[in-house]
Chains A and B, each alone.
Chain A
Amino acid sequence: MDFQLSEEHLAVQKMVRDYTHKEVIPTIKEWDRKQEMDPNILPRMAELGILGINIPVRYGGQGFDYISLGLVCEELEAADSTLRVVMSVHTGLNSMALLQWGTEEQKQKFLVPQARGEKYACFGLTEPGAGSDVAAMKGTAKRDGDEYVLNGEKMWISLASKAHHALVVLRTSDDVEDPHDGLSAFILELDRKGVKTGDIHGKMGVRAGSTGWISMTDVRVPAENRLGEEGEGFKIAMSCLDNGRYTVGAGATGLIRASLEASVKYAKDRNAFGREIGRFQLIQQKIAYMVQSYEAARLLYLRAGWMKNQGQRNTRETSLAKWFATDASFDAASEAIQVHGAYGYSDEYDPERYLRNSKGAVIYEGTSEIHQLMQAGYALGYRDDGELRCELPAYDPDFWQAEA
């Protein structure tokens, strides 16, 4: 057992922290109020290599391990959730799926530019009528010679209007006993004819980010754009979530840390009844719970990251990390507001933004209810993870760091 982060891990963490402190935190409140994404965010994350942190160098990435990905997400979300969302969809849900399931040609064509940050990527699973119940989706992909014809609408898609590539899951067959087996995954270039995208406004949180929709009307894509086999779409989507949820859990851990740090600072500055409010036991209790949930969330995501490094299946552990951290981050942000009194209720201070941002993560990438069903399912023996045709490759430094 080794709880020590490596020198590289610490340097990565510090570099991303410096970036957010210099370039994100000073202006994030304004972008959040404007409900717009700072146009510098994606190009800077690309330029700094953050978008490809854990992708092998030979595929355009930086060749770091899965733990580094988690640490990066923690740092990003300590600044603002919208930056971590970028990592969740671009890297966790899309690029890592290409690494896991893509053919060599698909890796060269899609993964390399994504890891380099030349192309941005998103993930389209949810539809207006189907969220948790994935198999209820209506969007279709019909084979036509060497092509597929895509029709349908994806809703609540992070980066829909910013991305160049989307990993979309659609129904390729109704002729199956279990509707889950009729789904397939595709890489869709969003500049194809018949694709429209747009943004959703009026969101409670992640207002400085981009969340939108993708509509597909008779969109033709070559069969080479299909990721995995026909009928493998549900399995692929779930494996994507194993990676996306990891970034969400790690990020929520950062949001807890931000709530804790803001609360500690305020509790030492603010006086009531003749002393700093940090001296009151009821304030101390709030701080203590934030410390507890921060440390526990951190250990949970680091374990999941370690398992990914080892090449061990981690669906259960990642789900637990995501469920715990996101629920705890909502509580921490809410208590941070309470510590700040009326000032916590104002957008002059950060905690209200933390609270609004935290709620999204309790809903996407498996609602907390879905994670509870999963955890109970494992405990009761109702649920078991079958082997996948393509597992996420274990972190092998030699392979990851070599040029080709």
Chain B
Amino acid sequence: MKIAVFVKLVPDSAATFTVDNGQPNWGDAPLVINPWDEYAVEAALALTEEHGGEVVAVSLGGENAKEALKHALAMGSSEAVLVSDDALAGLDAAGAARVMAAVVQKIGDVDLAVFGKSSIDSDHGMSSAMVARVLGWPSLSLVAAVQSAGDTITVERSMEEGRQVVESPLPATMSVVKDFGEPRYPSFMGIRKASKAEIPLWSLSDLGIEVPTAAVTRSEIMAPPKREVTNEIIKGGSPEEIAATLADKIIAEGVL
């Protein structure tokens, strides 16, 4: 099996998010591989370990996106490709999907394109489905386990109500959820391989596509309103009195 796995560099999940002059700001938070994408890499590696084949990690972004790719290489991916182009800055989700679909085609012979459930910075969660749409492939979302893979693939989808087993022909795209199992740590040998890797850089012209025009543009961005917390200690002569005052207040606040 040849698997393309898409990984993105995002601000660490512990970062505090603010908006400065209409621009998102994560402060000096370290950039890390999108945590959901680690599950995607884990799924891709587990699949090739079982069925043979190779994993090509792909990232769209600037020079620093190599960090995410090196993480995927250190976990055990065979190759990595960075797609970098000034024109990528203004892309919307559909435009990014066009670029990713073109990457899948340029890599060639890809059986499965694997994605994390979503990326923790923009949270669209649409890449897998949109890339499938551009390529005309089936799309398997929220995959928790792969039961079998050959000419077709059978997966378990994780849903709030339970699990669903679905089958589809290959090639296909799939998005992976946490239930797939803890992503492995990078291995020491993988770390060395990653640090020595020369990661090829593809531009949009290498992919042979025009700059996709964005249909969706961001007109405003807001940070979540700061939570105002005030403390009040309720006093009273007896526990019953305190409890009654508390109950009144809870009702007055509309909590109950």
Contacts and interface: CB of A to CB of B under 8 A. Distances in A.
Interface of A: 6-8, 11-12, 15, 18-19, 22, 48-49, 53, 62-64, 401
Given A11-B70, A11-B74, A48 B185 contact: yes
A15 B192 contact: no
A15 B70 contact: no
B195 interface: yes
Cβ-closest 10 pairs across A and B: A62-B188, A11-B191, A8-B195, A7-B195, A49-B188, A15-B185, A15-B186, A18-B185, A8-B191, A19-B185
Contacts of B19: none
Given A7-B70, A7-B195, A15-B74, 11 more contacts: A6-B195, A11-B194, A15-B186, A15-B188, A15-B191, A18-B185, A19-B185, A22-B182, A48-B188, A49-B187, A64-B192
A387 to B, nearest CB: 33
Q: Determine the main DSSP class of A at the interface with B.
A: helix
22 contacts: A6-B195, A7-B195, A8-B192, A8-B195, A11-B74, A11-B186, A11-B191, A11-B194, A11-B195, A12-B191, A15-B186, A15-B188, A15-B191, A18-B185, A19-B185, A22-B182, A48-B185, A48-B188, A49-B187, A53-B188, A62-B188, A64-B192
Interface of B: 70, 74, 182, 185-189, 191-192, 194-195
Q: Determine the main DSSP class of B at the interface with A.
A: helix
Contacts of B192: 8, 63-64, 401
Contacts of B191: 8, 11-12, 15
A41 to B, nearest CB: 15
A53 B191 CA distance: 12
A51 to B, nearest CB: 11
Contacts of B186: 11, 15
Contacts of A22: 182
A346 to B, nearest CB: 25
Find the residue from B187, B188, B194, B195 having the highest chain A CB count within 10 A.
B188
Contacts of B74: 11, 15
B188 A64 contact: yes
Contacts of A12: 188, 191
B199 to A, nearest CB: 12
Contacts of A18: 185
A24 to B, nearest CB: 13
Find the residue from B186, B189, B191, B195 having the highest chain A CB count within 10 A.
B191
A36 to B, nearest CB: 25
Contacts of B182: 22
A22 B194 CA distance: 23
A48 B185 CA distance: 8
